[in-house]
A = this chain, B = another copy of it.
Amino acid sequence: MRRLKLEPWLLILPVVVLLLVGFVLPVASVLLSGFTTPGGGWTIENFTRFFESAFHTGAAMRSLRMALVQTAVVLLISLPLAYAMSRASAKVQAFMMIAIVLPVMTSVVVRSFGWVILIGPAGPLADIPGFLELSKSRQGLLGTELGVNIAMVQVLVPFAVLSILGVLNGVDRRLEEASRTMGASFGRTAWSVVFPLAIPGAIAGGTLAFAMSISSFITPNLIGGAQIPVLAAIIYTDATTNLNWPFAAAQSLLMLIVVLVTIGLTAKLSARR
Contacts and interface: CB of A to CB of B under 8 A. Distances in A.
Interface in A196-235: 200-201, 204-205, 207-208, 211-212, 214-215, 218, 232, 235
A22 B251 CA distance: 34
A41 interface: no
Given A169-B170, A201-B166, A211-B101, A256 B30 contact: no
Interface residues of A, number: 90
B102 A11 contact: no
Contact of A100 (B19, B88, B101, B252): B19
Nearest to A27: B114
Contact of A23 (B154, B167, B208): B154
Q: What does DSSP make chain A's interface, helix, strand, loop or mixed?
A: helix
A263 interface: yes
Contacts of A29: 114, 117
A207 B26 CA distance: 29
Q: Would you list the 5 A-B pairs with minimal beta carbon distance, nearest first?
A: A170-B170, A166-B166, A26-B114, A8-B84, A105-B211
Nearest to A198: B166
- Please state the number of chain copies in the assembly: 2
A9, A23, A218, most chain B CB atoms within 10 A: A23
Contacts of A212: 104
Contacts of A171: 170
Interface of A: 4-5, 7-9, 11-12, 15, 19, 21-27, 29-31, 77, 80-81, 83-84, 87-88, 94, 97-111, 113-115, 117-118, 150, 154, 158-159, 162-167, 169-171, 180, 186, 190, 200-201, 204-205, 207-208, 211-212, 214-215, 218, 232, 235-236, 239-240, 245, 248-249, 251-252, 255-256, 259-260, 263, 267
A8 B169 contact: no
Contact of A207 (B4, B27, B97, B252): B97
A208 B162 contact: yes
Nearest to A103: B23
B107 A19 contact: no
A101 B256 contact: no
19 contacts: A8-B80, A8-B87, A9-B84, A27-B103, A27-B110, A27-B114, A101-B208, A104-B212, A105-B211, A106-B252, A107-B248, A109-B240, A110-B248, A113-B245, A162-B205, A162-B208, A166-B200, A166-B204, A167-B167
A74 to B, nearest CB: 12
Contacts of A214: 105
Contacts of A113: 26, 30, 239, 245
